[in-house]
Structure 1
Amino acid sequence: MNGVPVVKSQVPSTGLLRRLFPLPPTQYDAAENWVSYGSRTPRATRRASSVVLIRDSPNGVETYLGYRPGGSPLGSVAFPGGSLEASDEEEIPWYGPSLSEWSKRLGILDQRLVRAHIVCAIRELFEETGVLLAGTDELSVVENCVSEDWMQLREAVAGQDKSFVSVLTKRGLGLRTDLLRPLSHWISPNFALRRFDTRYFAAALPVRQEPSLLQGKGGWAAWMVASDVLAFRNSSNLGDTAGAPDTVGLPLSMITTPAVEVILEKIASTRGTVAYLSVRRELKSYHPDLVQVGEDFFLDVTTTTAAEGGGGGRGR
């Protein structure tokens, strides 16, 4: 099956594009059951946050992608992220826009939920990459989080042996929430056995920080030029690079989600990190629908056609 999303129809007057994304083979059983037995009540979603970490490079804007085992609703190859935890609602030192302002940006009235999504985003980024969006005041950002002590803290937070809040407060750190930008809101399709209600954020890699895999987790993660990933989206280039049994030999659409592909397209269209983060964007919600064409299944998504950040991912 062709791994490139199929353009189904375009509405020029609205700038919307209706597209069909091929369904990964790991989801075919769930899709077939959904179709065979008729529509049922979808499984409950778990709220989640994901952070699109970006930086400039001579070849274009890069983003940090990693392998996620176990058929994650975020995709087998995806951005750092995960589901909300109860501790994410706790009070935490905070620098940046107020909860009220973030509530408006995210379109969420419950400010406890707003806090949880933002804390989750920064916590998951720290656990999975070691990148920490925190400082001692509104102008500082912690540096060089690469020591063995920091790795042990990441492991403790990931294993829930220590709370993220306690790790920060003990070191006099507060969240630099102003370094996050809201991107979009994606809800897993109804047929899926595991479903996320995910808020995507973007952040630039802080100075004197560098991502790394969580010790003992193994897997794969790397900086990838967004435009290069898309240029080879119909090949198994990225899947072979990730090197996992459920990614090798498969094109981009078969190893990730429409959310990741759409975000990669926006990154590839920008002039650079500053331009991408500076875009004033309307926060859109997406809920892919399952459609069957012959014997094949696709995810039906309507996206916008506009480029972000001035267009042109290279030669800035």
Structure 2
Amino acid sequence: MVRRIFDVPPHQIPTAENWFAFGSRTPRSPRRASSVALVHDCANGVETYLTYRPGGSPLGNVAFPGGSHEASDRATYQWFGPSLSQWSKRMDVLDQQLVQAYIVCAIRELFEETGILLAGTDEQSIVEMTDPDDWMSAREAIAVQDLSFDEFLRRRGLGLRTDLLRPVSHWLSPNFALRRFDTWYFAATVPTRQEPTLLRGKGKWARWNVAKQVLAGRESAALGDLVGQPNTVGLNLSQISYPAVELILEAMSDANGVVAYLSRSRALDLKHPDLLVRDGIHYLEVLGSMSAESSRPWQALAGH
């Protein structure tokens, strides 16, 4: 059993203090959510795409693209890649409709927030971004739910390339949090002829970051100052992010390239940070296996 300690983000400290002062109470019900870590290789190691999330997001103020489930995530989709039964076994979730919602939400939120679309017309193809303005308009419409994701794909004859996702981690927000997520994290590479961009009128900051460099400056305000938002400047990585993000960055940093990172087998046990108070200071404590090694490799489940 491994024990890790992280700072509580400043905006959550009042809530943590209240929870500790008045004793344990019934936690708020979590919303289901999905998040996707985009990765690619560079000269300094694995890079990943981090975004700024305003409003004290349960995913972290600086985190991977993602968000909560919507009703359309359970609609009927053309599906390429491992079957829902195979995904269910890999994620150890019996409810296959819930498994679908996690996967569809991941692909939908990735498209909304970055413009990266993991979809194609068959099991071998991947859509190309030939008209950036058309894609941006579609992203805006999907984000405000003027257009459902399933209808967007259907109009273009596209199916979900679920084989391009890898599940990497499963997290439940701390009990004291006012907004809680039950989040599955996935990883993916950027398809050829696609590039991530901020959602027009909504996105504030995003960029590729070398995992090793982010971790090297984790105790400093390097990343927070780079993001440049009022709730990131002067704060370290734990204070602007979430333990899930740090541990995923650590796995990226340890991997010898993107192929090694994506193909690595993983233990997908649920991680649930708990509140720890030491000398009057509040921390997040995470217990469990931090190893990415598992006896259940993804490749054994990815066949058709």
TM over 0.5: yes
Q: How many Å apart are 1:19 and its aligned residue?
A: 1.2
- What secondary structure is seen at the aligned counterpart in 1 of 2:42? coil
Moved more, 195-204 or 295-304: 295-304
Q: Aligned to 1:159, which of 144, 148, 173?
A: 144
Q: How many Å apart are 1:166 and its aligned residue?
A: 0.6
Return the alpha-carbon distance in structure 1 between the equivalents of residues 131 and 41 of structure 2. Answer: 21
Q: Is contact 1:130-1:146 (8 Å) kept? A: no
Q: Aligned to 1:41, which of 21, 26, 30?
A: 26
Return the alpha-carbon distance in structure 1 between the equivalents of residues 289 and 211 of structure 2. Answer: 18
Q: Indicate yes or no: 2:127 matched with 1:142.
A: yes
Q: Indicate yes or no: 2:3 matched with 1:29.
A: no
Q: Is contact 1:34-1:191 (8 Å) kept? A: yes
Aligned residue number for residue 255 of structure 1: 240
Aligned residue number for residue 212 of structure 1: 197
Return the alpha-carbon distance in structure 2 between the equivalents of residues 145 and 186 of structure 1. Answer: 36
Deviation track 1:8-47 (CA, whole Å, cap 9, x = no partner) reads: xxxxxxxx42111011111111001101111100001000
Letter in 1 for 2:114: T
Q: Aligned to 1:239, which of 214, 221, 224?
A: 224
Aligned residue number for residue 277 of structure 1: 262
Letter in 2 for 1:220: W
TM-score normalised by structure 2 residue count: 0.94
Q: Aligned to 1:186, which of 171, 175, 185?
A: 171
Q: Is contact 2:113-2:203 (8 Å) kept? A: no
- What secondary structure is seen at the aligned counterpart in 2 of 1:21? strand
Return the alpha-carbon distance in structure 1 between the equivalents of residues 188 and 131 of structure 2. Answer: 19
Question: Segments of 4+ in structure 1 off by > 2 A?
Answer: 302-308
Return the alpha-carbon distance in structure 1 between the equivalents of residues 249 and 38 of structure 2. Answer: 11
- What secondary structure is seen at the aligned counterpart in 2 of 1:132? coil
Percentage of matched positions with identical amino acids: 64
Return the alpha-carbon distance in structure 1 between the equivalents of residues 130 and 188 of structure 2. Answer: 17
Q: Indicate yes or no: 2:96 matched with 1:111.
A: yes
Q: Which runs of 5+ in 1 are unaligned?
A: 1-15, 309-316
Aligned residue number for residue 50 of structure 1: 35
Q: Indicate yes or no: 2:2 matched with 1:17.
A: yes
Return the alpha-carbon distance in structure 1 between the equivalents of residues 203 and 190 of structure 2. Answer: 22
Return the alpha-carbon distance in structure 2 between the equivalents of residues 103 and 42 of structure 1. Answer: 27
Aligned residue number for residue 78 of structure 2: 93
Aligned residue number for residue 300 of structure 2: none
- What secondary structure is seen at the aligned counterpart in 2 of 1:297? strand
Deviation track 1:244-291 (CA, whole Å, cap 9, x = no partner) reads: 100001010100000000000000000111111111112121000101
Letter in 1 for 2:281: D
Q: Is contact 2:264-2:292 (8 Å) kept? A: no
Moved more, 201-210 or 124-133: 201-210
Return the alpha-carbon distance in structure 2 between the equivalents of residues 127 and 290 of structure 1. Answer: 33
Return the alpha-carbon distance in structure 2 between the equivalents of residues 254 and 185 of structure 1. Answer: 20
Q: How many Å apart are 1:294 and its aligned residue?
A: 1.0
Aligned residue number for residue 287 of structure 1: 272
Distance 1:274 1:168, change over 3 A: same
Return the alpha-carbon distance in structure 2 between the equivalents of residues 148 and 293 of structure 1. Answer: 52
Q: How many Å apart are 1:207 and its aligned residue?
A: 1.3
Distance 1:145 1:127, change over 3 A: farther
Deviation track 1:22-75 (CA, whole Å, cap 9, x = no partner) reads: 111111110011011111000010000000110011111000000000000000
Aligned residue number for residue 65 of structure 1: 50
Distance 1:42 1:307, change over 3 A: closer
Return the alpha-carbon distance in structure 2 between the equivalents of residues 305 and 197 of structure 1. Answer: 18
Return the alpha-carbon distance in structure 2 between the equivalents of residues 76 and 145 of structure 1. Answer: 32
Return the alpha-carbon distance in structure 2 between the equivalents of residues 22 and 167 of structure 1. Answer: 41
Distance 1:269 1:146, change over 3 A: farther
Return the alpha-carbon distance in structure 2 between the equivalents of residues 144 and 171 of structure 1. Answer: 12
Distance 1:140 1:191, change over 3 A: same
Aligned residue number for residue 156 of structure 2: 171
Q: Is contact 2:31-2:182 (8 Å) kept? A: yes
What CA RMSD, in Å, does the superposition of the two structures yield over aligned residues? 1.1
Q: Is contact 1:131-1:145 (8 Å) kept? A: no
* Alignment size in residue pairs: 293
Return the alpha-carbon distance in structure 2 between the equivalents of residues 44 and 307 of structure 1. Answer: 28
Q: Is contact 1:68-1:77 (8 Å) kept? A: yes
- What secondary structure is seen at the aligned counterpart in 2 of 1:202? strand
Aligned residue number for residue 3 of structure 1: none
TM-score normalised by structure 1 residue count: 0.91
